[in-house]
Every structure is written in C-alpha cells, then in structure tokens.
A and B are shown apart, each in its own frame.
Chain A
Amino acid sequence: GEDVEQSLFLSVREGDSSVINCTYTDSSSTYLYWYKQEPGAGLQLLTYIFSNMDMKQDQRLTVLLNKKDKHLSLRIADTQTGDSAIYFCAENFGNEKLTFGTGTRLTIIP
C-alpha cells in the first residue's frame, strides 16, 4: 500500500527558513498536499500541488516536487512563532481518499 514518511521533528530559529520533507512510495498520486495542525485542532490546508508540477509558490510557502525521487518538500520562509505546529503531507490517488504522512513537529527557537 501507500507509504508516506516524514521526519518527526524540526527545530528552526525565528526568521530562518524551514524545510519540511516528505517521501512517498506510490507515484500514481494526482495531488499532493501540505496541512498544518495546531494543538487540539483540526487540519488546515496550506497548499497543494498537482502531480505534473515541479514547484508552486504561495507567499511564504514554496512546494517542491521531485517525482523521480518521490520527494515532496515544503519551505516556509521567514519562519515565525505562529508557524509552530505539526505539518502533514498527504497524497491523493484520484479516489478522494487521502494518505497522510507521519507528521513533522516544527518548533521555533526564539
């Protein structure tokens, strides 16, 4: 089945860039997503990328997709304390079901 892996933890100094990585095994996904989850809350869609795209930028967020290596990354520029959260990548395979990564807890160091 599908397998989506992420590093569990990432610590970044305030003002620096954060790069959260995600690797997946099934390359037939249609869309790939990044979600943010704050403590005790649901998931907030940050951005998504269609599988035929290599890069997408939206304000402070940049998504890079390397289909050959099955690698997806999310770069957050000028990281702020409000960016502290758990970030999940997710894949969709055209049947509306999402497969989530293991989640990366981003901690901001003042």
Chain B
Amino acid sequence: GAVVSQHPSRVICKSGTSVKIECRSLDFQATTMFWYRQFPKQSLMLMATSNEGSKATYEQGVEKDKFLINHASLTLSTLTVTSAHPEDSSFYICSASSGQLYGYTFGSGTRLTVV
C-alpha cells in the first residue's frame, strides 16, 4: 500500500535555531501534501497545503515566514520551522494525497521539542 515516510521522528533543538522535517511518498506520486500540527490530547490542526511546484497555501493564523514549506518534487515536501521557540514544540504530521479522495496517507509524525 501507499507509504509516507516522515523524518525525523523526534528532534530537540535550541531556541532560535531552525528545524527541517521531511515527508516522502515512497511508492506513489503525491500531487498534494498536507502539514498538520497536533497539541497534546487534541485533534489535528491543518497548517498548510502544498502542491508540487507551487507555493503552499497556509491556513488562517499560520505564519508562512515561520513555517516554510517546500514541495519541490512529487515525492518530497519539507517543513522548516524557522527561529524555533518553545511554543513551537508540538507533534507535526504530514499526509500525502495521490489525487484520489480516499487516498490520504499519513506520515508517522515528528515530535519537536524546543528548549
């Protein structure tokens, strides 16, 4: 079946540094990738939608200059958290769509801790 690989699974970084999270579709081409943020014991909050070769569409309230998304190929999207602060600590999850409405596949998530 469709597999999405997300790395790293866990990262601890110092305040003020930047962190890059990768999301790869391993056995299919992902026309669209989504980035979510999940706070403890809460649901997923969509941050942005990225389509290959074009700029990401950010949800209201999400700072595009802080959360940089690049979707340079049909198999790779990256989320870079720039100048990270402790309030950016969260669980980040990507998902990829092959264009079929029932074809969403999620990565395993990245636990970001900013100290």
* B105 surroundings in chain A (CB, below 8 A): 45
Stretch from B14-22, B38-46, B63-71, B76-84 forming part of the interface with A: B38-46
Interface size on A, residues (CB 8 A): 21
Q: Which residues of A contact B (CB under 8 A)?
A: 30-31, 33, 35, 40-45, 48, 88, 92, 94, 96-98, 100-103
Q: Which of B90-112 contact A (CB under 8 A)?
A: 91, 93, 95, 97, 101-102, 104-109, 111
Q: Are A42 and B101 in contact, with the CB atoms below 8 A?
A: no
Interface size on B, residues (CB 8 A): 22
A1 to B95, CA, bound (A): 22
Q: Are B46 and A98 in contact, with the CB atoms below 8 A?
A: yes
| Residue B75 CB within 8 A of the other chain | no
